[in-house]
Amino acid sequence: MNYNFSQDLVSIREISGLTQTELAKAIGVEQVTISRNELGDTYPSAKLLEQVYSYAFHKNIQLNRLKEMLWTDDLEEGHKLLFHGAKSLIEGTLDVHKSRRNNDFGQGFYCGETYDQAISFVSGFKGSCVYLLDFEEQNLKCNRYSVNQEWMMTIAYYRGTLREYEEHPLIKELVTRSRDCDYIIAPIADNRMYQIINSFIEGEITDEQCRHCLAATNLGFQYVFISELAASKLKMVERCYISENEKEYYKKRRSSDAKLGSDKVRLARIQYRGKGRYIDEILK
């Protein structure tokens, strides 16, 4: 799927209140370049893509956020708009078997609930983009997780830190449940959250401390598509370009959020010290 550049170009120019000549001058190209691209007579170069989208973000035209709002407004009943941050172009049909096995819930196709979530995970990669997807939720089996012991231990298993307990009946039950569905809705666990989970697995903190530390980070929910049937209910509706200045904005914002989250984690460790059970007590 290509970027919807011709329509985006018109939108950016009209929101800015500029003529083709004025926009061309603002970004340093010829007027004919703007004209041809608005008509779709030519495909934009990588340089032109960056010039246009960087200009828009610099002028505080958050086009991708606007798209999120408009697509959400147009959803049919029983449909949900989801977001996938991709490090490169997705070619062909969506494949639930291509991702790494040591993701939060193993192999699957992962999406977030908001544009902000999706871009925050790929803002550090060159050539990354965000896909908007229309998901039809009906007639599928869904497993829902919250920030609790089951969620923590399931993620620890797939991330490879529960190998010594993998034959334990409780772990086997957790793994079976995690695959007995078409898709999963669960809190997102980034690397920072995983470090907290690992502290629990290593016996440094209790399950109660871990749960409150993780709740403090509050990254939102992810959708994990396990079955091919679930993936077939996903339709890519738009591919969003991310300019370098937009990436930099989200990297800084995530860094700021991480500092606040880290302080909350420290407070939760102190406040819930000694409460709950350690991993060897749960899996004895």
- Co-location of 29 and 69 in the same domain: no
Q: Looking at the structure, do residues 104 and 122 belong to the same domain, yes or no? A: yes
Residues 107 and 32 in one domain: no
**pTM score over 0.85:** yes
Cα distance between residue 172 and residue 174, in whole Å: 5
- Domain boundary, last residue among 61, 81, 98: 61
Q: Kindly state whether residues 86 and 55 are assigned to the same domain.
A: no
157 and 278 fall within a common domain: yes
Distance CA 119, CA 122 (A): 5
Are 226 and 247 found together in one domain?
Answer: yes
**81 and 56 together in one domain:** no
- My answer on whether 230 and 127 are in the same domain is yes
Statement to judge: residues 170 and 43 lie in one domain: no
Residues 35 and 86 in one domain: no
Residue ending a domain, choose from 21, 37, 61: 61
Q: Which domain holds residue 177?
A: 62-282
pLDDT digits 0-9 by tens, 16-48? 999 999 999 999 999 999 999 999 999 999 999
Q: Looking at the 3D structure of the chain, how many domains does it have?
A: 2
CATH classification of the domain holding 39:
1.10.260.40
Q: Same structural domain for residues 6 and 126?
A: no
76 falls in which pLDDT band (50, 70, 90)? very high
Domain C-terminal end among 11, 41, 61: 61
* Average pLDDT for the chain: 90
Amino acid at 53: Y
Quick: pLDDT tens for 211-229: 887 776 666 899 999 999 9
Q: Report which residue type is found at 159.
A: R
pLDDT at 264: 67
Verify that 22 and 103 share a domain, yes or no. no
What is the per-residue pLDDT across 244-280, written as a single tens digit (0 to 9) for each?
999 999 888 776 665 555 666 677 777 888 788 888 8
Q: What is the pLDDT of residues 105-148, one digit of tens each?
A: 999 999 999 999 899 889 889 989 999 999 998 899 999 999 88
